[in-house]
Chain A
């Protein structure tokens, strides 16, 4: 029983991180239709930048996070303006945009390896507490991951529901053609969405930096889990990405109970496969 509770706690915590990544990725994907694989390396780059700001420049953690978010936003918007927009404008089929995004993924990932090396970058003497909830042990980072995810999800929901930009984003997500017809500047919406989505990835990067540091493969895993969370949950809603991410975390952590860790990403694929067979449009879009 204690073990199950412990696995559940781990699952919710990891799931929150996947959900957070999924929300950012899904916002970009749902609104623009662009499968932004370079979301991963942008996430990784912001983790490295935050590490550098803290370890080399000695900036306080919160300041580094804010700067890291700004960096990610700029990077994401640049990717859209320089790579994706020219292709989309030209009416390129979506697989061309997909290939471009994979190309961008490789370029950024390699650049990061050249600039920062391949060894893991961890924060110097960053301590967080360990808490006991009954017999369940959780770390401060695990709790933070859940709280950060909830805060971001609520803030983003409110933004989409009540702001002018939010309603423009929802309109574009629903029907781009109609959005243009009512006079929404769909280009600006794409830019805003790339900025916000990338900022969310930077928040997730801050979590990871505290938990285990930045290393070569974090970008790949980030976009891999974000993608699966979004597809499993259903494209086009925050709730979908959130549910997809949490489910992924829970299934994965209960799977780890009996299986060695090498199977971790295979479990994620299995979740994707099973859900897609059962509900091809994702959990929240059954119709």
Chain B
């Protein structure tokens, strides 16, 4: 399953807001086929790290490599064209547009829209509610439904690397499981590599192939999820 070829390499990345350094000299490698799980406190800098990888923030030092090519600070538009998709934290949808329009915007960069019907169908299969609510305004759906749509938007491009920031946030327990299952499915069916931040350790750890724990912008644990399987170790890091 795991080809173990590095897909995303972060080397000594630092990110600051003004004078405050949020991410400090951080390194990690996500390999092709991984479900790389990133854990950490509120405010540890996880979102900041993901956003700087995707090009929404400019790092102050360090490198981001994708497929061996330096993509540090490259614009989201170019990253999307290169098969990287990002699902930001917290129901990131176009609230005043319909579900269908949201999905179509996920494929904004695709010129030939006629190839998209099968993709939409696959997404609808993953999240049937999205086809039921096709013409509903996204902002009028429940938080959990919006989260599914947010993931659906990213799947419209069948990305090679999918970066997810707390996909299970605000979801009911059974939906958390459904989302985790869908992530496993996405990886299986599309061969997508996943880099994911999560708070729900219990539900996300079982699907992870690699784990990292962050505290105040630094790595405090990097290794296999099995290393975190007992509670005491986990508590020590989190």
A167 near B104: Cβ-Cβ < 8 Å:
yes
Write the nearest CB–CB distance from B131 to chain A, whole angstroms. 20
When distances are taken between beta carbons in the complex, the residues of chain A under 8 Å from B92 are 175, 177-178, 181
Write the nearest CB–CB distance from A162 to chain B, whole angstroms. 12
Interface membership of A180, Cβ < 8 A: yes
Interface membership of A135, Cβ < 8 A: no
28 CB-based A-B contacts, threshold 8 Å: A164-B108, A167-B101, A167-B104, A167-B108, A170-B94, A170-B97, A170-B101, A171-B94, A171-B108, A175-B92, A175-B93, A175-B94, A175-B95, A178-B88, A178-B94, A179-B105, A180-B56, A180-B77, A181-B56, A181-B76, A182-B106, A182-B109, A182-B153, A183-B77, A183-B80, A183-B81, A184-B108, A185-B77
When distances are taken between beta carbons in the complex, the residues of chain A under 8 Å from B153 are 178, 182
Secondary structure dominating the interface of A:
helix
B residues at A contact (CB < 8 Å): 54, 56, 76-77, 79-81, 86, 88, 92-97, 101, 104-106, 108-109, 153
**Residue from B77, B79, B93 with most neighbouring chain A CB atoms (10 Å):** B77
When A170-B97, A174-B94, A174-B96 are in contact, do A180 and B105 touch as well, CB less than 8 Å? no
Write the nearest CB–CB distance from B164 to chain A, whole angstroms. 12
When distances are taken between beta carbons in the complex, the residues of chain B under 8 Å from A178 are 88, 92-94, 105, 153
Interface membership of A204, Cβ < 8 A: no
State the total of A-B contacts with C-beta under 8 angstroms.
Answer: 59
**Residue from A167, A174, A177, A236 with most neighbouring chain B CB atoms (10 Å):** A174
**Residue from A167, A174, A181 with most neighbouring chain B CB atoms (10 Å):** A181
When distances are taken between beta carbons in the complex, the residues of chain A under 8 Å from B97 are 170-171, 174
When distances are taken between beta carbons in the complex, the residues of chain B under 8 Å from A164 are 108
Chain A residues within 8 Å of chain B by Cβ, number: 17
Nearest opposing residue in chain A for B94, CB measure = A174
Write the nearest CB–CB distance from A233 to chain B, whole angstroms. 15
Beta-carbon contacts of A162-200 to B below 8 Å, as 1s and 0s? 001001101100110111111111000000000000000
Residue from the list A171, A177, A185 in contact with B105, Cβ < 8 A: A171
**Residue from A180, A183, A236 with most neighbouring chain B CB atoms (10 Å):** A183
When A167-B108, A178-B88 are in contact, do A184 and B77 touch as well, CB less than 8 Å? yes
Write the nearest CB–CB distance from A34 to chain B, whole angstroms. 20
Give the complex CA separation of A178 and B103 in angstroms.
12
Write the nearest CB–CB distance from B80 to chain A, whole angstroms. 4
Give the complex CA separation of A175 and B88 in angstroms.
12
A183 near B76: Cβ-Cβ < 8 Å:
yes
Give the complex CA separation of A182 and B106 in angstroms.
5
Nearest opposing residue in chain A for B76, CB measure = A180
B94 near A183: Cβ-Cβ < 8 Å:
no
Nearest opposing residue in chain A for B79, CB measure = A183
When distances are taken between beta carbons in the complex, the residues of chain B under 8 Å from A174 are 94-97
A168 near B77: Cβ-Cβ < 8 Å:
no
A181 near B94: Cβ-Cβ < 8 Å:
no
Give the complex CA separation of A251 and B110 in angstroms.
47
Lowest 5 A-B CB distances belong to which pairs? A183-B80, A174-B94, A183-B109, A183-B77, A182-B108
Give the complex CA separation of A179 and B108 in angstroms.
9
When distances are taken between beta carbons in the complex, the residues of chain A under 8 Å from B108 are 164, 167-168, 171, 182-184
Give the complex CA separation of A43 and B94 in angstroms.
32
Write the nearest CB–CB distance from B71 to chain A, whole angstroms. 14
